[in-house]
Amino acid sequence: MISNKESFTYRKYLKNKKLFKCSWLFLIIDTIIFFYLLIKFYYGAYYKYPLGASIILIFFTIVFYLETKKAEKELVEEERHNYFTWGRGAGGELIVKKSLMTLDSDYKIFSDFHPGEWNIDHICVGPTGIFAIEVKAHKGTISYTDNKLKRNDQELDGNYLGQTKQGSVFLNQLIKEKLNKEYFVVPVLIFSNAKIKGINHKIENVWIGGRGFEKWIIQNCKNALSSKEIEDICNVLMNFHTEDRK
């Protein structure tokens, strides 16, 4: 079964989920302790100062309730943000990974490749060339107008074109350094959950498409590689994390 549970995106999603669980647990424990101490104070002071103790009880209960509701709202918003960024992102990457794994065995796939503090979602090396694939899981309609990528006619946050080209340039330089030969690495930006509107060409030298476009561009590219070249390039990628990162 194809999985991406070891990917940076999925691990980040799980890590955040664990933090949220700890936050909820802390909130519950904090509530229990607070009311235990408040009630203990109330019964201790009631016989001497019944009115004052009652006012303090009501005041702190209201304040604690308001602060607790505020904290709950923030936690819920953070959980939603975690799902819609890291969770959905991991799902989008898995969709593309499954698609790439259906290519002929001549194509070699490297997922979640880490050059440093960032990653390339997928790399494909095969008879038609080398491809650096960046995956985004936005829903809606993706278009390109006024020199800007947009979702539902609203400008997208983040430099996705630059991010995609960064992976391509890094691989180009790495392979050139190790094999002393220039190879063009095709940058591909995939919106796995979105509809693509009016984008039928490269933008800033980046191919952009929706689900399934990654296979189409790989199968129709003409950057021919021999079996020996594919093997050499794959060895460079496989050795990167063991040799170059020592």
Considering only residues 23 and 88, tell me which one the structure prediction assigns the higher pLDDT.
23
Residue type, 47: Y
The answer to whether residues 126 and 108 touch, using CB atoms and an 8 Å cutoff, is: yes
* pLDDT, tens digit (0-9, with 9 covering 90-100), for 93-122: 888 999 999 999 999 999 999 998 889 999
Helix (H, G, I), strand (E, B) or coil at 15: helix
CA pair distance 17, 72, nearest whole angstrom: 15
DSSP track, 37-87: HHHHHHHHHHTT-HHHHHHHHHHHHHHHHHHHHHHHHHHHHHHHHHIIIII
The pLDDT confidence band at residue 230, using thresholds 50, 70 and 90, is very high
* pLDDT, tens digit (0-9, with 9 covering 90-100), for 168-181: 999 999 999 999 99
The pLDDT confidence band at residue 11, using thresholds 50, 70 and 90, is confident
Assigned token pair, 160: 């996705």
Q: Is the pLDDT of residue 48 over 90?
A: no
Average pLDDT over residues 65-80: 88
Query: What pTM was computed for the model?
Result: 0.77
Local structure of residue 125 (DSSP, 8 states): E
- Long-range Cβ contacts of 199-203 (<8 Å, 24+ apart): 199/142, 199/143, 199/144, 203/144, 203/149, 203/161
- Long-range Cβ contacts of 181-186 (<8 Å, 24+ apart): 183/129, 183/130, 183/223, 183/225, 183/233, 184/129, 184/130, 184/223, 185/129, 185/130, 185/131, 185/132, 186/129, 186/130, 186/131, 186/132, 186/217, 186/221, 186/223
pLDDT of the residue at 106: 93
Q: Is the pLDDT of residue 61 over 70?
A: yes
